[in-house]
Amino acid sequence: MALVNEHFLKLPNNYLFADIAKKVNIFKATHKGAEVISLGIGDVTQPLCPAVIEALHKATDEMATRQGFRGYGPEQGYDFLREAILKNDFLPRGIHLDIDEVFINDGAKSDTGNIQELIRWDNTVAVTDPIYPVYIDSNAMIGRAGMKGEDGRWSNIYYMPCNAENDFVPELPERRVDVIYLCYPNNPTGTVLTKGELRKWVNYALKNEAIIFFDAAYEAYIQNPSIPHSIYEIKGARKCAIEFHSYSKTAGFTGVRCGYTIVPKELTAATLDGRRIPLNPLWNRRQCTKFNGTSYLSQRAAEAIYTPEGKRQVRQTIDYYMENSKKMLATFKDMGFDVQGGENAPYIWMRVPERSDSWRFFEELLYGAHVVCTPGVGFGPSGEGYVRFTAFGSKEQTEEALERIRKWLK
Amino acid sequence: MALVNEHFLKLPNNYLFADIAKKVNIFKATHKGAEVISLGIGDVTQPLCPAVIEALHKATDEMATRQGFRGYGPEQGYDFLREAILKNDFLPRGIHLDIDEVFINDGAKSDTGNIQELIRWDNTVAVTDPIYPVYIDSNAMIGRAGMKGEDGRWSNIYYMPCNAENDFVPELPERRVDVIYLCYPNNPTGTVLTKGELRKWVNYALKNEAIIFFDAAYEAYIQNPSIPHSIYEIKGARKCAIEFHSYSKTAGFTGVRCGYTIVPKELTAATLDGRRIPLNPLWNRRQCTKFNGTSYLSQRAAEAIYTPEGKRQVRQTIDYYMENSKKMLATFKDMGFDVQGGENAPYIWMRVPERSDSWRFFEELLYGAHVVCTPGVGFGPSGEGYVRFTAFGSKEQTEEALERIRKWLK
């Protein structure tokens, strides 16, 4: 008799963004003609840049000929892209990586979800709170998270609250943890870690033989030149950190699907009898077994981001979104809201007015201003009392949304 | 201290196709100028068909405009593709599925590797032997396979030998198993199951409350109209079977990455206390958490396969490969080889001459005729004494390879 993996049954049936979509659909069904502006889900709105479009057409034409046709690529990705990554994303920051430390993927969600397969089922996982739900849910599915309590916390997860009290910067764990998920620039709070703060985490991991899963999906949005773009800018990080990158937000690849993961060869985890096992070959084995590489077209598209034109065009789009962010930050402050982030990240984290809560404010905003945000509690217990806005709308929609919110508040 | 998932350490370090590539590279390095023809790895060689190329260009142009741009798609895939699948792959065979029973993926390897996440870690898994290595390895990584013995068999896997004695058709397990992997048309033996034989498996699964993971990646190669293309042609299969499809071999998508999985809503697995849990919402939850959908471009490309021109063009390429297969079968028989498959599948399974074995024959053929095949033992213990040839070469290369083998044998 086939038995189900009962860990799945501990997960709430709902998924944050599905819940939001449902509520928005109900609103639309009951308010015919109302135009809803979404600054909720973190999806981009601007088209792919011309360099990427050109690369996609060219790769398509190659696939139409016997000589140019590409079948299975390497599971780890094509060297043309891995080399471009090393040369553009790491060398200029003084980070020297080997090509076989780079694994091309179909976006960071897959790899941040799958990476936990490499570690023992009973390792203790620490997460910042609020947090991108995938980190916890992927651990819950294998039983590593324990049980979900009525307070919304999983019994085997160590939560590191990020709130107004600590300026949204997590404090080092008070007890030993084995694995730590960090995402900076942060989703959802939009905060960043300075080099000094990030160094504390690397040192903690080295001292405790912990591993950091570092999600750098939003690094392209960093404006302040002193903020690290990669955890490998910190000495010792190669021994303790795996880093995830995505082109989704960097170059509007949410529909194209491409990103990459760095698994340094120096990084090890222990066996119960104390041997140190490098994780790079294990991740390679995992990918070769359960993944057949990312679309050739998507990889050629990603390569184009690193050409001079590609770089310039991608930067323009990021600047466009950051212009939105600036406007939102200024306007929200002007309206008297308490807001975080938005300076080095495409996310703005807003405290909801007193006597409201995340979901209530979400609904008030939807019904009052026809604007969609993301309820902060969807990112974890410490997100209660906050909502997230994204800068990924169009300029016009963002301005219109701000105008509507201003009117609604009056 | 981060502990490693020690189940990974039980896996052999090598992966079949990586081993082959290494041996071929050594040969090439020591035989400059020798032109090697590969009929080994199951990768296609013919370009994408014009209808697919046109769809890719069109989708690329859409992505260049603000109106046409598509960001995150549904994790389950776009309805335009899911509907085309229902209408073309199932309805004509009298199979009525709901759209939310179809999950678009980035190729069958991911889903056949990931599907085991839904079942309990200690379920007993049965596999035909020889077998596509992913089925076992993905179970081994989570500990479900037990330990690998010196005979190449995993302690918790139930092997169903397919060999000359049973005409390469597996027999029903003699003891209860919980999960069964079946792949028909079969990789690597090229055999197919008749409706009657497939019915035996469905009945076994229903009686024992087992689940069948049915890999139909090669169904497009079936020539005999009485052979089922989908397990759902068998009554009761929706209650016990998940089916995997891929466009890799159907339409040359090995580099494009798209396929789909059917998880019927009637299919359940049990909890320890006897409740029946439908797997469809669990797979949906899994995909929403760890997957962000397949590239929009790849999904539009797949949609084009179902247009009248697409169907005709894809059929032409399949016919082209099956012409190779026919020629190989006839020639090998003429040479006195004992061969299986190749009639309803792109794979030919050849018994190696006595006093040789899989790897030895592989090397003899490589050094003697400069032709690459796949050693059967790479697919499991019952594959020893066999090699696999694929029909995916070009016509010219296939003919040249046969000619070389003929000369080599003299």
pLDDT tens per residue, range B195-214: 999 999 999 999 999 999 99
A2, A110, A295 member nearest B298 (Cβ): A295
Smallest CA–CA separation between A47 and chain B, in Å? 5
Convert the pLDDT of each residue in A69-124 to its tens digit: 999 999 999 999 999 999 999 999 999 999 999 999 999 999 999 999 999 999 99
State how far the Cα of B260 lies from the Cα of B258, in Å rounded to an integer. 7
Smallest CA–CA separation between A101 and chain B, in Å? 17
Which string of DSSP letters, residue by residue, matches A149-191?
Answer: -TTS-BTTEEEEE-SGGGTT-PPPPSS--SEEEEESS-TTT--
Does residue A14 have a pLDDT over 80? no
Region B236-265: mean pLDDT is: 98
A64, A120, A285 member nearest B3 (Cβ): A120
Token digits for A400?
């219109």
Helix (H, G, I), strand (E, B) or coil at A367: helix
What residues of B are in contact with residue A44 (Cβ under 8 Å)? 71
CB contact under 8 A, A211 and B2: yes
Q: What DSSP state is assigned to residue B8?
A: G
Q: Are strands A371-372 and B268-270 parallel, antiparallel or unpaired?
A: unpaired
The total of other beta-carbon atoms located within 10 Å of residue B65's CB is 11
Give residue for tokens 């920051």. Answer: A93
CB contact under 8 A, B60 and A63: no
Whether the ipTM is more than 0.95: the answer is: yes
Instruction: Select from B375, B397, B392 the least CA-distant residue to B24.
Output: B375
What residues of A are in contact with residue B282 (Cβ under 8 Å)? 4-5, 8
Convert the pLDDT of each residue in A261-281 to its tens digit: 999 999 999 999 999 999 999
| pLDDT-wise least confident of A243-252, B146-155, B211-220, B231-240 | B146-155
Q: What DSSP state is assigned to residue B266?
A: T
For residue B301, the number of C-alpha atoms closer than 13 Å in the C-beta half-sphere is: 33
Smallest CA–CA separation between A240 and chain B, in Å? 10
A332 CB-near residues (< 8 Å, 6+ apart): A339, A348, A350, A389
pLDDT bucket at B359, cuts 50 / 70 / 90: very high
Angle between helices A395-409 and A358-369 (to 10 degrees): 100
- Quote the pLDDT of residue B17: 81
Question: Which chain B residue shows the shortest CA-CA distance from A68?
Answer: B47
pLDDT bucket at B312, cuts 50 / 70 / 90: very high
Smallest CA–CA separation between B407 and chain A, in Å? 28
**Residue type for B101, please?**
E
CB contact under 8 A, B107 and A292: yes
Convert the pLDDT of each residue in B11-66 to its tens digit: 987 778 888 989 999 999 999 999 999 998 789 999 999 999 999 999 999 999 99
> Is residue A75 within 8 Å of A288, Cβ to Cβ?
yes
Region A30-43: mean pLDDT is: 91
Q: Are strands A386-390 and A374-375 parallel, antiparallel or unpaired?
A: antiparallel
Smallest CA–CA separation between A248 and chain B, in Å? 9
Instruction: Select from A256, A167, A174, A249 the least CA-distant residue to A215.
Output: A249
Smallest CA–CA separation between A173 and chain B, in Å? 13
Angle between helices A133-140 and B279-290 (to 10 degrees): 140
**Of all residues in chain A, what percent carry a pLDDT higher than 70?**
100
> Is residue B251 within 8 Å of A71, Cβ to Cβ?
no
Does residue B391 have a pLDDT over 90? yes
Token digits for B214?
């049915």
Smallest CA–CA separation between A353 and chain B, in Å? 31
Does residue B93 have a pLDDT over 90? yes
Q: What is the CATH number of domain A70-307?
A: 3.40.640.10
Backbone angles phi, psi at B210, to 5 degrees: -90, 165
Give residue for tokens 């943890």. Answer: A177
- Quote the pLDDT of residue A18: 80
User: How many Cβ pairs closer than 8 A exist between chain A and B?
Assistant: 276
Region A335-345: mean pLDDT is: 97
CB contact under 8 A, A5 and B119: yes
Convert the pLDDT of each residue in B362-378 to its tens digit: 999 999 999 999 999 99
Question: Which chain A residue shows the shortest CA-CA distance from B259?
Answer: A292
A6-47+309-409, which class in CATH? alpha beta
B6, B68, B142 member nearest A271 (Cβ): B6
CB contact under 8 A, B1 and A61: no
Q: Are strands A241-246 and A259-262 parallel, antiparallel or unpaired?
A: antiparallel
Instruction: Select from A397, A307, A403, A406 the least CA-distant residue to A37.
Output: A397
CB contact under 8 A, B209 and A48: no
What residues of B are in contact with residue A114 (Cβ under 8 Å)? 290
Angle between helices B296-304 and A296-304 (to 10 degrees): 140
What residues of B are in contact with residue A4 (Cβ under 8 Å)? 118-120, 269-271, 277, 279, 282
Smallest CA–CA separation between A92 and chain B, in Å? 30
B11-46+315-409, which class in CATH? alpha beta
- Quote the pLDDT of residue B330: 97
Instruction: Select from A185, B7, A180 the least CA-distant residue to A171.
Output: A180
Q: Is the dihedral of CA B182, B188, B191, B192 positive or negative?
A: positive
CB contact under 8 A, B117 and A5: yes
- Quote the pLDDT of residue A19: 86
pLDDT bucket at A253, cuts 50 / 70 / 90: very high
**Residue type for B338, please?**
D
B46, B209, B285 member nearest A66 (Cβ): B46
**Residue type for A264, please?**
P
The secondary structure element, H or E, covering residue B244 is strand B241-246
State how far the Cα of B43 lies from the Cα of A70, in Å rounded to an integer. 10
State how far the Cα of B236 lies from the Cα of A155, in Å rounded to an integer. 40
- Quote the pLDDT of residue A12: 82
B358 CB-near residues (< 8 Å, 6+ apart): B352, B375, B376, B377, B378, B383, B384, B385, B386, B387
State how far the Cα of B152 lies from the Cα of B63, in Å rounded to an integer. 49
Helix (H, G, I), strand (E, B) or coil at B329: helix
Convert the pLDDT of each residue in B108-134 to its tens digit: 999 999 999 999 999 999 999 999 999
What residues of B are in contact with residue A293 (Cβ under 8 Å)? 257
Region B257-272: mean pLDDT is: 98
CB contact under 8 A, B178 and A2: yes
Same fold, A6-47+309-409 and A70-307: no
Mean pLDDT of chain A: 96
Helix (H, G, I), strand (E, B) or coil at B315: helix
Reported in sequence order, the residue ranges of B287-405 that DSSP labels E, i.e. its strands, are: 339-341, 347-351, 371-372, 374-375, 386-390
The total of other beta-carbon atoms located within 10 Å of residue A34's CB is 11
B2 CB-near residues (< 8 Å, 6+ apart): A119, A123, A178, A179, A209, A210, A211, A269, A270
CB contact under 8 A, B5 and A117: yes
Q: Are strands A37-38 and A371-372 parallel, antiparallel or unpaired?
A: parallel
Backbone angles phi, psi at A214, to 5 degrees: -105, 115
CB contact under 8 A, A3 and B120: yes
B18, B43, B109 member nearest A291 (Cβ): B109
> Is residue B270 within 8 Å of B59, Cβ to Cβ?
no
How many residues are present in chain A? 410
CB contact under 8 A, B296 and A69: no
CB contact under 8 A, A254 and B71: yes
pLDDT bucket at B287, cuts 50 / 70 / 90: very high
> Is residue B180 within 8 Å of B213, Cβ to Cβ?
yes
Smallest CA–CA separation between B78 and chain A, in Å? 11
> Is residue A47 within 8 Å of A41, Cβ to Cβ?
no
CB contact under 8 A, B63 and A73: no
Is residue B400 exposed (0-12), middle (13-18) or buried (19+ Cβ within 10 Å)? middle
CB contact under 8 A, B254 and A2: no
CB contact under 8 A, A269 and B64: no
> Is residue A247 within 8 Å of A253, Cβ to Cβ?
yes
Cis ω for the linkage preceding B188 (within 30 of 0): yes
CB contact under 8 A, A5 and B257: no
State how far the Cα of B311 lies from the Cα of A336, in Å rounded to an integer. 61
- Quote the pLDDT of residue A213: 98
> Is residue B337 within 8 Å of B345, Cβ to Cβ?
no
Sheet holding B125-129, edge to edge: B102-105, B259-262, B241-246, B211-215, B179-183, B125-129, B157-161
- Quote the pLDDT of residue A42: 82
Instruction: Select from B41, B48, B54, B38 the least CA-distant residue to B300.
Output: B54
What residues of B are in contact with residue A295 (Cβ under 8 Å)? 106, 255-257, 295, 297-298
Mean pLDDT of chain B: 96
Bridge partners (DSSP) listed for residue A375: A387
CB contact under 8 A, B71 and A255: yes
State how far the Cα of B139 lies from the Cα of A298, in Å rounded to an integer. 30
Which string of DSSP letters, residue by residue, matches B177-239?
Answer: -SEEEEESS-TTT-----HHHHHHHHHHHHHHT-EEEEE-TTGGG--STTS-SSGGGSTTGGG
**Structural domain spans, chain B:** 11-46+315-409, 53-308
State how far the Cα of B41 lies from the Cα of B378, in Å rounded to an integer. 12
Domain B53-308 of CATH type 1.10.10.10: no
| CA dist list (Å): A162 to A129, A159, A174, B295 | 6, 9, 15, 34
- Quote the pLDDT of residue B258: 98
The total of other beta-carbon atoms located within 10 Å of residue B321's CB is 24
What residues of A are in contact with residue B53 (Cβ under 8 Å)? 60-61, 63-64
What residues of B are in contact with residue A142 (Cβ under 8 Å)? 117, 142
